[in-house]
Every structure is written in C-alpha cells, then in structure tokens.
Amino acid sequence: MTKEIAVSGSRPTGFIHLGNYLGAIRNYVKMQDNFSCYFFIADYHSLTTHYEAQNLPQLTREVLATYLACGLDPQKCVIYIQSEIPQIPELYLLFNMLAYKGELEKVPTFKDKVRSQEQSGRSISAGLLTYPVLMAVDIIVHRATKVPVGKDQEAHLEIARNLANRFNYQFQTTLFPEPYGYNDGSDLFKVPSLDGSGKMSKSATNPNSAIYLMDDDTTIRKKVMKAKTDAGPTESNQTKPEEIQNLFDLMQLVSSSEIVQHYETQYNNCNIRYGDLKKQLAEDMVQLVAPIRNNIHDLMKNEEYLKKVVRDGAEQARQSADATLQAAKKAIGIHYF
C-alpha cells in the first residue's frame, strides 16, 4: 500500500521552543513510521521577516540538530534545507501567477506582521505578502495531503488548498491533492506563552515567555516561576482567567493526567498554591527538555553527520519535487519541443 505523503518545516529564525516541539515536531516524529515524510528547514521563509541573515547558518544547523535530537530518523523520513531544492522557487513563481493579491492581504498573520513591521519603520516586502504561496508550494511540491503544524497555520493551509484546486481547475488536471493540517486525529492547537496571553513564539519581546529546547534546567525553572498568575480563585469551579488557563494548558501537554487532575481539583476547591503548580510544571518541562537538549549539544559537534543528512535528504527531495514541477509545467503548457 502506498503511504500518504506528509510535509512540514520550521523557520530558522531562533531557537526551537516548546510550541514548535509540542505543536509540530512531536508529530513529525510520530508520523515518520506511517507516512512518507518530508521535513525541511524553511530558510527562505525566514528571509521574509529576518532579512539580515548573518545567523542563518548557525540557526539552520541548530534546527537540523533539533529535528534529529527530537527523534527524526533520516532512514525513515527525508530531511532537507528548503533552499537546496531549486524546484521550489520555480514552482513558487508559477503559483504566484495564480495567487490573488486580495486573498493574500487578508491572511491574519500577514496583517499582524504588517502592523508590527510598520511600527518598527520597516517596509513590507512582496516576499512577506506571498509567504503563503511559498508555503503552499512547500507542501504541494511533494503532492502531500497531511501537514503536521500548529493552529497558527490554519489560514495558510486554506490558501494552499485554494491554490491546489485553482491550478487543477485552470489546467484541467488532478495533479494536486488538497493538503490538511494533521495532529494525530485531534484538532490543531496552539501552545500558549508563559507571559499570560498569546502563543509561545520565537519573536516574543518577553524573553521569559518561551521555553526553548536549548534552555538549561535552571533557566526553565526560572522562566516558569516568573509566569504570571492571579490572586487565586474565590469561588468553587470558577472560570480560569487566561494566564491561569494557559498554565493548565501547558501542564496538560507535559504532565501526567493525575497531576493535572490534582491541580484542577485544588483550583476548583479554591485551595490551589500556584507556587506548587509552577514547580511541578517546571519539573515536568525539565524532564521533557533535558534529554533533547543534551542530544542537540552532541549532534552540533558532529558537523559531518549533519552535512550528510541534508545532502542525502536534498537528493531525495529534489527527485520528488522535480517530478511534480515537470508535471505542473506540462499541465500549464510549458513544454515546447
């Protein structure tokens, strides 16, 4: 039986954090046994917001080492760097002819980025506007149907489906299947930040709001203990304010169900001590992060191995991408002799 195809990637714009791991990379690791998987480092994507790319080589190697440290196995999945696959920008050019300016301007992440870039006096590039086209191409270049990503990517996936369908309709083909987000049978979700609101993110202004997989144990404990809380519940079964709900959501992701239940009961009985909850949360995060961090450090020392993984991965990814690109060009009519 042929396996379904899965694709996903992370931008090398900073250290990988628990949001990336729990929202996406943990699923990559689970999927590599049952799907035909392509996982990449989205270096071109990082240029849409981080054009000063002097840290790109180091960050790219770190994301690669992180993928491997989390459990990706190059014998089971294809791991590559986006810019090493020339078929991607070529297909991106073709899909830019099909994408509408209006639909791209409506994407919520584009609007957010415009707001923050304008505040800091930066111009908005065409690359930022067409980010969802590049992301659509990343997926459909392997004709993937499953995309393990966090909830923040839903609008981009919708554009990818629209573009796949538009191409098929325009050129009377069935070349591109519709890609959907994947979270092991459950809905996509967002890992919250530690500063009371919003999602955990690489670009947060508060350095304590994200737990990075490279953080040492002391840093993890310090960050969690600084997380915002309130004065505590005053009535039984009270609705939790956002900052408290976020801590419970994080606990749900890293702690056992007995531990979560224990603190839920305390909250509902109004006898919760947030200090204890945070200590427990920090310890469970340390348990999760420490072995991955140690693996990252070991892998970063083995540059030859890292190089070989992406050299082999790029070869396989180029083969898959080229088959799609040639079929797409043929469907459009770009084949002359």
Instruction: Closer to ligand AMP by CB, 200 or 328: give it.
Output: 200
Amino acid at 107: V
Measured distance CA(102)–CA(149) in Å, rounded: 25
Relative to beta strand 5-10, strand 180-181 is unpaired
Region 23-52 residues binding ligand AMP, contact defined as CB under 6 A: 23-24
**Nearest CA to 138 among 321, 331, 313, 14?**
321
Q: Mapping DSSP to helix (H, G, I), strand (E, B) and coil, where does residue 11 land?
A: coil
Task: Please select the residue that binds ligand AMP; options are 30, 76, 161, 190, rule is CB under 6 A.
Answer: 190
For the bound state, the minimum distance from the C-beta of residue 320 to ligand AMP, rounded and expressed in Å, comes to 20
Query: Considering the rule CB under 6 A, would residue 20 count as an interface residue with ligand AMP?
Result: yes
For the bound state, the minimum distance from the C-beta of residue 331 to ligand AMP, rounded and expressed in Å, comes to 29
Transcribe 13-41 into DSSP letters. Answer: SS--BHHHIIIIIHHHHHHTTTSEEEEEE
Task: Please select the residue that binds ligand AMP; options are 200, 224, 281, 321, rule is CB under 6 A.
Answer: 200
Query: Considering the rule CB under 6 A, would residue 11 count as an interface residue with ligand AMP?
Result: yes
For the bound state, the minimum distance from the C-beta of residue 20 to ligand AMP, rounded and expressed in Å, comes to 4
Residue with tokens 């309130």: 230
How many Cα atoms sit within 13 Å of 245 on the Cβ side? 10
Alpha-carbon distance values, 65 to 30, 151, 213 (Å): 18, 24, 11
Query: Considering the rule CB under 6 A, would residue 213 count as an interface residue with ligand AMP?
Result: no
Of 76, 111, 202, 222, the catalytic one is 202
For the bound state, the minimum distance from the C-beta of residue 23 to ligand AMP, rounded and expressed in Å, comes to 2
Based on the residue annotation, tell me whether 202 is a catalytic residue of this protein.
Answer: yes
For the bound state, the minimum distance from the C-beta of residue 269 to ligand AMP, rounded and expressed in Å, comes to 30
Query: Considering the rule CB under 6 A, would residue 221 count as an interface residue with ligand AMP?
Result: no
Amino acid at 51: Y
Query: Considering the rule CB under 6 A, would residue 195 count as an interface residue with ligand AMP?
Result: no
Q: Which window, 149-157, 167-175, 229-237, 273-281, contacts ligand AMP (CB under 6 A)?
A: 149-157
Query: Considering the rule CB under 6 A, would residue 202 count as an interface residue with ligand AMP?
Result: yes
**Nearest CA to 25 among 59, 63, 70?**
70
CA angle, 32 then 299 then 224, to 5°: 85
Residues that bind ligand AMP (CB under 6 A): 8, 10-11, 19-20, 23-24, 149-150, 152-153, 190-191, 199-202
Catalytic residue positions?
A: 113, 199, 202
